[in-house]
Amino acid sequence: MEKIFQKFAFSSATLVFIILLGIFITLFNAARPAINEFGLNFIVDPAWNKEVPLSTPQTTTDKSAAQKSVTDTNDESVDVNDYGDSSDDMIMEDEDDTPTKTIYGGLVPLVGTIFSTLIALAFALPIAMGISIFLAEIAPKKIATFVGGAIELLAAIPSIIFGMWGLYYFAPIVADLFGGFQVSLLTAGLVLGVMILPFMAAITRDSMNTTPDILKESAYALGATKFEVIKDVIFPYSKVGIIGSIILSLGRALGETMAVAFLIGSIFELPHKITDPTISIPVALANNFGEASGLGMSSLFYLALILFVMSFAIISFAKFYFLRKANS
């Protein structure tokens, strides 16, 4: 019995490893047609679902296939055997008989993801720091428990609620203040900021609370003000943990889907201004997964892979470089 349980426990723990590896392999496999077709160029190409003329010269089999498609509708996908993986997505146009292929690039969602996350971070960081200073140092114990509990409640609210509230109540105000569209990079980033605010504040407070009281008391005894204690004792002491917390929140914000889905506008266009609508990787997945097929689907998996690798890298960076000490 002992042996069986130990084996079972070992396999359950290993399951974590298997799932993570499985996610990576599965996404990579599903993305492979797109990776073969576009390579690393994918991440700098702003075109999504765009038809471009085929550069390769026509073979006879291609032509007969093309002519066959002309007799159907002009938007039929045609299988062309000698074009490898992209065959599903070659779309023929009937006007000039030049076949085109659909290309996909991930630059727009990538830019949308990074910028919405940065806006969220810029918005949430000062407020989260303020809240954690308030909770750790200023508020009396009773108030700190109450406010801390309330902030944790904010973290428990499902993200889709943030999206709906953001779209109908928050975005109109932001749009009035800054101009531009109600659905935009800016409003999406700000709502994302409100969302990661409680998470960031809670873990930053926990880092600050690790500062030994004796250090703080020594500083107070020397006549330091509260701000000086925070700046010269608590921050230096818990710096590593705080930076780790910030990076962890950043990883959270990167992958957030539902709050952003309502607000970012969901169009594959590079934003020229901060108030322009665009799209992020999670939202591109959420909105296009249902209808996509062939190379389009594969490109979505490519995006998912990029997002997974990005968040994996960011979180492990935070874990191994900054939070190791705090973790013990």
Partner 1 sequence: MKRLLINKIILTLSTISALIGLAFLAWILVTLFIKGLSSFHFSLFVNDLINNGLRNLIIGQFILAGMASIIGIPLGMVAGIYIREYGQGRYANLIRNLSDIMMSAPSIVIGAFVYAIVVVPTGHTSGFAGSIALAIMMIPIVISTTDSMLSLVPQELREAGIALGASKYKVIFDIVIKSAKVGIMTGILLAFARIVGETAPLLFTSQTSNYFTLDLTHAFPSLSVSIYDLASDVQTSSRDLAWAASFILTVMVLVINLTGKFITRNKK
Tokens 């953001």 -> residue? 166
**Shorter beta-carbon distance to partner 1: residue 86 or 113:** 113
**Shorter beta-carbon distance to partner 1: residue 66 or 129:** 129
DSSP three-state, residue 92: strand
Q: Please name the residues in contact with 10: beta carbons below 8 A apart, sequence gap of 6 or more.
A: none
Give the C-alpha distances (Å, rounded to integers) separating 166 from 161, 171, 262: 8, 6, 8
**Shorter beta-carbon distance to partner 1: residue 50 or 319:** 319
List residues bridging with 77 in a β-sheet. Answer: 91
**Shorter beta-carbon distance to partner 1: residue 99 or 241:** 241
User: From the CB of 95, what's the least distance to partner 1, in Å?
Assistant: 35
Question: How many CB atoms neighbour CB 216 within 10 A?
Answer: 18
**Shorter beta-carbon distance to partner 1: residue 29 or 67:** 29
User: From the CB of 16, what's the least distance to partner 1, in Å?
Assistant: 5
Q: Which amino acid is at 32?
A: R
DSSP three-state, residue 299: helix
Report how far residue 35's alpha carbon sits from residue 39's, in angstroms, rounded to the nearest whole number. 5
User: From the CB of 141, what's the least distance to partner 1, in Å?
Assistant: 13
User: From the CB of 266, what's the least distance to partner 1, in Å?
Assistant: 10
User: From the CB of 96, what's the least distance to partner 1, in Å?
Assistant: 37
